[in-house]
A and B are shown apart, each in its own frame.
Chain A
Amino acid sequence: MSEPLLVVDSLTVTMAGVPVLEDVSFALQPGETLGLVGESGCGKSVTALSIMRLLPDPPGKIASGRILFDGVDMRTLDAAGLRAIRGDRIGMIFQEPMTSLNPVFTIGDQIAESVIVHRGLSHRAAFEEAAGLLDLVGIPAARNQLGRYPHEISGGQRQRVMIAIALACKPKLLVADEPTTALDVTVQAQILDLIGRLRRELGMAVLLITHDLGVVAEFCDRVAVMYAGRLVEEAPVNQLFAHPRHRYTEALLRTMPAANAPGKRLPSISGAVPAPAERKAGCIYAPRCGFALDRCATELPPLTASPHRLRCWNPA
């Protein structure tokens, strides 16, 4: 196996002193797609922002762990070193295409910005590049669209523009933080198709953050499930969907509408995710788990080894 492109090793992140991410580890091979799934507030976006070193500090702080991108520890880089990587070798797409574009600049300006910053291209050359990129992300009559403002185009088009910006410098890694959550279902499919096509064409790795298990099943090679700031299970996508072993993953998959007969009430997981400050010793899922053993409440289960990593005392 080749060197992994991205290694997140025992990452612990605190917000105002409270740990929101604890001992998270995973690796991403070049060209691979890893889905990061979990409920709101489980630390998916914090993980993405930590990788980019974009977590606002204060209050966020990377307490310990390593983030190796292409062999370089992102934690050791200074501001200039980080800027050289962001947008050039790691691209990022955000959840809200409505607000992620600057309202006072044309989309051409905003796509060109990345190549101007990283490639030092002239304004004219950057605009040529931008036209090519808009074409790449499937916006018709790309050249005529460069002069339009974000409010003049639809949400799906805007997300395509965001993708064009993220891909402007042909990054090796694309971090997509819920790229389809704010879009209509039909547009979601188009955007995912687009990301998938570009991934194959450009050979880049994708870290896809989502809470939509259907998207993961369709799109990812491997999937990592997070719960309350910890990674609880990670496996190749087919294996995880066919044989979920962590009790949380199992329960989560049972709640998918497609996994249930029509007309029946959907199952749910009782209780709620504990707030970061209220997390206790032992398995964090234990209070909501139907299969909890005595030791679950007191001892934290260790993460088992690849390829099917798991943090559970009583797996299915």
Chain B
Amino acid sequence: MSAAIALLPPRSNLARVLGTPGAAAGVAVLILLVLGAVFAPLIAPFDPVATRVCPRLAPPSAANLFGCDLFGRDILSRILHGGRYSLSVGLLTVAISLIAGTLIGMTIAFLGGRVDSIGTRFIDVMLGFPPIVLAILIVAVLGVGAFNAALAVGISGVPRFARVVRSATLSLVGREFVESARAVGASQGRILRRHLLPNLVPVLIVLASLDLGTAILSTATLSFLGLGAQPPTPEWGAMLNAGREFMRYAPWTMIFPGLVLFLAVMSVNLVGDRLSHVLDPRASGHV
């Protein structure tokens, strides 16, 4: 197995990530979505919140490629601008889950004993809640809004991260290089920072990339339920919610926001899958 891999010509990391058509397509779509979001003010044909730039609920046409919504706003412009909210909220969400989950998971695994048993039970209880229910609960406490929705989804993702990071850390704590770091006189903090965390990075990258899709979807779900971004903010989930009533006679109000949401989540997942494959030492022949 490893001999066969060794015979392949060495490839750059980027080439390895792009190695499959699916992953390459995922990266391409992601780049398009991010560029669209970043340059939305320059490329969007209309102001995303200006009303009556076109006839109400007008179908897609040359002037309004994705059609218009109930208030005569251009859906393409709203989708481009919406990417700014949906994508950055997704990233923020993952960052919250990642940082808090890593800290908690590493700490309880490293301290072990009673801290670990109690911490793990607590995580189990948290995992027992459906994440979206947990997120709704947190929004109920914090209040509605795009930032609070991100915070809520981020917090509801913490137990998932903590759980995986805990197991990954446990498998490292027993390794001999940790013992030899102790034998050299390294402090607990130094062992956590210098010896455990860098070894967790591949796990964290995979975890974060696989979770990003879910995070985007969950925050959109909260917006769809009216608990996230508030009108007239052009957020994808909120747009889906707004279009819901006209689905039968103006389906473009739902199809296009749904489509970009689908594309974003799928491409993130494609890239995440590929990353997990590339970063798996057994699959890549690297230590």
Whether chains A and B associate is yes
Residues in A lying within 8 Å of B, measured CB to CB: 52, 54, 58, 79, 82-88, 91-92, 94, 96, 99-105, 113-114, 117-118, 149-151, 162, 165-166, 168
The yes or no answer to B52 lying at the interface (CB within 8 A) is no
- Could you say which of B177, B179, B183, B286 contacts A87, with CB atoms under 8 Å apart? B183
- Known: A84-B185, A102-B195, A104-B199; 8 extra A-B contacts, CB below 8 A, are A54-B182, A87-B183, A94-B180, A100-B179, A102-B198, A103-B177, A105-B194, A165-B180
- Could you say which of B179, B194, B195 contacts A54, with CB atoms under 8 Å apart? B179
B259 to chain A: closest CB distance in Å?
Answer: 41
Chain B positions 171-197 with a Cβ under 8 Å from a chain A Cβ = 175-177, 179-188, 190, 194-195
Q: A86 touching B185 by the CB < 8 A rule? A: yes
Q: With A54-B179, A86-B185 in contact, is A103–B199 under 8 Å at CB? A: yes
Type the 1/0 row for B67-89, where 1 means its CB is closer than 8 Å to any CB of A. 00000000000000000000000
Measured between alpha carbons, how far is A84 from B186 in the docked complex, in Å? 9
Q: A117 touching B176 by the CB < 8 A rule? A: no
Most buried by A among B181, B188, B195, B198: B181
- Could you say which of A83, A101, A150, A162 contacts B185, with CB atoms under 8 Å apart? A83
B194: which A residues are within 8 A, CB to CB? Answer: 105, 113
Q: A118 touching B185 by the CB < 8 A rule? A: yes
Q: A87 touching B176 by the CB < 8 A rule? A: no
B35 to chain A: closest CB distance in Å?
Answer: 33
Q: With A58-B113, A99-B177, A102-B177 in contact, is A86–B183 under 8 Å at CB? A: yes
B62: which A residues are within 8 A, CB to CB? Answer: none
Q: Please provide the 3 A-B residue pairs with the shortest distance between their CB atoms, ordered closest to farther.
A: A87-B185, A87-B184, A151-B287
- Contact count band on B: 20 to 34
B198: which A residues are within 8 A, CB to CB? Answer: 102, 104-105
Measured between alpha carbons, how far is A180 from B144 in the docked complex, in Å? 64
Pairs across A and B, CB under 8 Å, 9 listed: A58-B113, A85-B185, A87-B185, A92-B183, A99-B177, A102-B177, A102-B199, A104-B198, A149-B287
Measured between alpha carbons, how far is A168 from B187 in the docked complex, in Å? 17
Q: B287 touching A162 by the CB < 8 A rule? A: no
- Could you say which of A79, A96, A165 contacts B184, with CB atoms under 8 Å apart? A165
When C-beta atoms are compared, the residue in chain B nearest to A86 turns out to be B185
Residues in B lying within 8 Å of A, measured CB to CB: 113, 175-177, 179-188, 190, 194-195, 198-199, 201, 286-287
Measured between alpha carbons, how far is A91 from B195 in the docked complex, in Å? 19
- Could you say which of A103, A117, A151 contacts B186, with CB atoms under 8 Å apart? A117
Measured between alpha carbons, how far is A82 from B185 in the docked complex, in Å? 7
Measured between alpha carbons, how far is A162 from B183 in the docked complex, in Å? 11
Q: A117 touching B180 by the CB < 8 A rule? A: no
Q: With A96-B176, A150-B287 in contact, is A83–B187 under 8 Å at CB? A: yes
B113: which A residues are within 8 A, CB to CB? Answer: 58
A101: which B residues are within 8 A, CB to CB? Answer: 177, 180
When C-beta atoms are compared, the residue in chain A nearest to B198 turns out to be A104
Measured between alpha carbons, how far is A104 from B186 in the docked complex, in Å? 17
Most buried by A among B177, B180, B187, B195: B180
- Could you say which of B176, B190, B201, B286 contacts A94, with CB atoms under 8 Å apart? B176
Q: B190 touching A117 by the CB < 8 A rule? A: yes
Q: With A96-B176, A113-B194, A151-B287 in contact, is A102–B187 under 8 Å at CB? A: no
- Could you say which of B181, B182, B185 contacts A102, with CB atoms under 8 Å apart? B181
Q: With A99-B175, A101-B177, A102-B177 in contact, is A88–B199 under 8 Å at CB? A: no
Q: With A102-B199, A103-B199 in contact, is A114–B185 under 8 Å at CB? A: yes
B175: which A residues are within 8 A, CB to CB? Answer: 99
When C-beta atoms are compared, the residue in chain A nearest to B281 turns out to be A103
Measured between alpha carbons, how far is A92 from B185 in the docked complex, in Å? 11
Measured between alpha carbons, how far is A149 from B287 in the docked complex, in Å? 9
Q: B287 touching A103 by the CB < 8 A rule? A: yes
Q: B199 touching A94 by the CB < 8 A rule? A: no
When C-beta atoms are compared, the residue in chain B nearest to A152 turns out to be B287
Measured between alpha carbons, how far is A88 from B177 in the docked complex, in Å? 17
A166: which B residues are within 8 A, CB to CB? Answer: 183
A52: which B residues are within 8 A, CB to CB? Answer: 183
Q: A94 touching B185 by the CB < 8 A rule? A: no
B136 to chain A: closest CB distance in Å?
Answer: 40
B133 to chain A: closest CB distance in Å?
Answer: 38
A118: which B residues are within 8 A, CB to CB? Answer: 185
Q: B176 touching A88 by the CB < 8 A rule? A: no
Measured between alpha carbons, how far is A162 from B187 in the docked complex, in Å? 19
Measured between alpha carbons, how far is A83 from B183 in the docked complex, in Å? 8
B287: which A residues are within 8 A, CB to CB? Answer: 103, 149-151
Q: B186 touching A83 by the CB < 8 A rule? A: yes
Q: With A102-B195, A102-B199, A104-B198 in contact, is A113–B184 under 8 Å at CB? A: yes
Measured between alpha carbons, how far is A117 from B183 in the docked complex, in Å? 12
Measured between alpha carbons, how far is A142 from B184 in the docked complex, in Å? 21
A96 to chain B: closest CB distance in Å?
Answer: 6
A102: which B residues are within 8 A, CB to CB? Answer: 177, 181, 195, 198-199
Q: A99 touching B176 by the CB < 8 A rule? A: yes
A88: which B residues are within 8 A, CB to CB? Answer: 185
B114 to chain A: closest CB distance in Å?
Answer: 10
